Amino acid sequence: MDLMALIQQALEASGKLRDLSKKVEDADFKMILADLHNALADAKLESGELKMKLAWAQEEIVRLKQLIEQRDKGKPTYSSEGVYTFEGEAGRFCTACWDSDERKMRLTDLASEFRFVGQWECPKCHAGYGAKDA
């Protein structure tokens, strides 16, 4: 039986006790019973919040495991062109974006009139790569 079911059972029992307390004239008993009922209701709410936090934490664990797996599989190779390449993926990738955010940004070819800056550009950070030495 899970925690929520146990708390629900306790709430039902305290409800029955409250019904019985209507026959009893002891004010202290009624006050203690009301406190018990409120405490159980608070415990039920807290239990629900904890379940939500646990679900979020489990999702975060899965996400972080996938990130570690991706990082282990996707280590870049630095090429002689000054860019990164990744095994199994075509194209050249921005070293700045990978080094700062581990973001794979595929470089795009620059138009011929802009080749004085380089052959490729990162669409995210606009770093130029493959510049011809003068």
Q: Are 109 and 119 in contact (CB under 8 A)?
A: yes
Domain identity same for 69 and 83: no
Give residue 104's domain range.
77-129
pLDDT number for residue 133: 54
The string of pLDDT tens digits covering residues 44-74 is 888 889 999 999 999 999 999 988 887 776 7
Considering the domain architecture, whether residues 43 and 90 belong to the same structural domain is answered as no
Number of domains in the chain: 2
Determine the average pLDDT of the residues in 3-14: 80
Domain end residue (candidates: 54, 73, 92): 73
**Residue at 92 is within a domain:** yes
Q: What is the CA radius of gyration of the chain?
A: 32
- Mean pLDDT score, 10-25: 77
Q: Please count the helices (runs of H) and the strands (runs of E) in the chain.
A: 3, 5
pTM for this prediction:
0.46
